[in-house]
Amino acid sequence: MTETGKVYLVGAGPGDPDLLTIKARKIFDQVEVVVYDRLVSDEIMDLVPTGTSRINVGKQPRFHPVPQEDINDILVNLAREGRSVMRLKGGDPFLFGRGSEEASHLHANGVSFEVIPGVTSASACAAAIGLPLTHRGYATGARFITGHCSADSELDWDWKGLSDPNTTLVVYMGVTNLAQITLRLIENGLSASTPIAAVNNGTRPNQRCLISTLGEISKDLTELEFSGPVLFIIGRVVELTKALGFDHEQGGAGPVEARESA
């Protein structure tokens, strides 16, 4: 009887291979199969050794060619064949990565697994543009939300609670519903002049950054036509990027192009 293999749920971070953890990097050389998502950067996939099998299960907004239930089964079946498997996810597998759903399915089927955390986009993208998520006098805390719900249902969040001017709000996967998100925040008390940063392809060589306001971001983002993952950071801390010496207009934050809304 074939001995059951092991699955590693690995966070690939935001895209820069230098931000992989040492533990995650070691796993690349230990597994036989890599099951990876769309948001894992090409630079990180280049670290997968020649001869290691690759299975692309990436999703796009409103287009899931491999449903989550099928991904769960792929992991179980590979392990039952005795394979060692890396389930490679952008960011951190347990922060909007559905890693806990996969872990639950693996556990229910008697498959051994290990979670290797990754640097999440909120902290990585903020650091890349010189933006602290918390800062005394600007934000006493930070909240992370996803910009879409399962089955594309309405965003039924606590909008009043999210519209706290003393909290930094970070929105993952929010491009599709950006107009709805900004409108609901403004309706619930957050000023239309509240600054917002949109970080596209954060930490990667093609990183771009738009600094705008809640009232103008939808229009400004349409004009720039970003492609690839976009993270939104909302709150007064966005004002600090220049105060900390990051001049986006001159590309002073590394590989960042930015434009400020008038």
Q: Which residues are catalytic?
A: 37, 59
Q: Would you say 197 and 241 are in contact if contact means Cβ atoms under 8 Å apart?
A: yes
Torsion sign, CA atoms 119, 122, 125, 131: negative
From the list 10, 228, 260, 241, the residue with the least C-alpha distance to 116 is 10
Distance, CA of 98 to CA of 101 (rounded, Å): 5
SS3 state of residue 32: coil
Q: What is the secondary structure of 182-195 as a DSSP string?
A: HHHHHHTT--TT-E
Residues in the chain: 262
215: Cα separation from own chain's centroid: 24
